Structure 1
């Protein structure tokens, strides 16, 4: 699985992220903590792939198969505000404004509003951009170096007072760091499916307009409000 993910990353267009003042010798977890502390706002481009294991009637030597790929632009402002703007192959926006999580689907002409909560926490964007302190919710474990990135596993911390533990739908969360910036995110579930996100052209601490995370459905759109 890891060899295939490496091959997928190689096949994606090369990523030219800005360098930071972090020393090359810093661990991946140190780089990730520093990124979270210092990045109040940012924007850039993303490619997101949904991967799965081959079915019984498919060749088993090809590793995981790409079943869906999207790409677009992201913007975030800590804590908990972001726009995950999918532009290809369809237009769809996922918007977190601090109170609500909004999904806008242009083809369906439909906007779905729900309270920010566990639905927000399970999104790749929120894992990268939602928390001011990852250490409050995750143990950061340094892993291997691959493709010029230092990988960090995020293991949800156990809360002895919680009625349920780790409601996230992923069995493994890893972030690839290089030069102080996240370049890739791998999310694996218990069924062998993988979400792989690569980030490009990140600009840190950009000035954002006050209404950047507001969204008003266009006239005639279907609006769903979920509790």
Structure 2
């Protein structure tokens, strides 16, 4: 269950972050967070860097209530993105796991389990913003951007999906709140909150802008002897 939760969180994070692949023209820090984000959308190509991902929860009834959110799980690693539709989210600690999208399929590789799971990218990412954010369309066409408070040295922006009259039951996003912290034209943090009050916080570091990535960066071949699952 823990790894399934992380996969869901990672999928949403990378789906969003493909949108934020840094641009050559970086917004000045004086610009609002929403405007910095829009400049990313207009100019993003590729990016890579490091991440730390934390799962947070509120204190339980028998725990001190003045300590704020508690870190219950933390992973870290390296990411790389190329629009449209390609990414590698490489978790290195505390266990090795890769989530890879090559434009056609989504691949989860778990080294400890010696298992690779393949599924069609579009179907696997249908419940995330990926279907919108992998493309080249305008961010404002699909989300309302709401500037929030300045905290932790970042300008925060809330992304609220716009209602699609052609979609029954509203959007299928697994998170009720998506916020991005921008600083000096760079996305520095993402906060994802679900309806149960669980929070995923991803902080980003050492981001390289519009780098040239090798063509095979998003290829993956399971090692000999690995269990391979192919889901339709």
Deviation at 1:54, TM superposition (A): 1.8
Structure 1: stretches of 5+ with no match in the other structure: 1-16
2:155 maps to which residue? 150
- CA distance in 1 between partners of 2:55 and 2:223 (Å): 30
Residue-pair matches, total:
210
Deviation at 1:36, TM superposition (A): 2.2
**Aligned residue runs from structure 1 range 178-217, under 5 A:** 178-217=183-222
Superposed CA offset, 1:81-124 (max 9, x none): 10000001110001111111111000000011111136436569
**Contact 1:36 / 1:131 at 8 angstroms: preserved in 2?**
no
> Cα gap change, 1:118/1:136 in structure 2, threshold over 3 Å: closer, same or farther?
farther
> Cα gap change, 1:196/1:87 in structure 2, threshold over 3 Å: closer, same or farther?
same
Query: SS at 1:212's partner residue?
Result: helix
> Cα gap change, 1:131/1:101 in structure 2, threshold over 3 Å: closer, same or farther?
same
- CA distance in 1 between partners of 2:157 and 2:57 (Å): 22
Instruction: Note the aligned Cα RMSD (angstroms).
Output: 2.3
Query: SS at 2:39's partner residue?
Result: helix
User: What TM-score, normalized by structure 2, do the two folds share?
Assistant: 0.83
- CA distance in 2 between partners of 1:202 and 1:18 (Å): 11
**Contact 1:29 / 1:140 at 8 angstroms: preserved in 2?**
yes
**Residue of 92, 96, 104 corresponding to 1:91:** 96
**Contact 2:44 / 2:210 at 8 angstroms: preserved in 1?**
yes
Deviation at 1:150, TM superposition (A): 0.6
Deviation at 1:222, TM superposition (A): 0.6
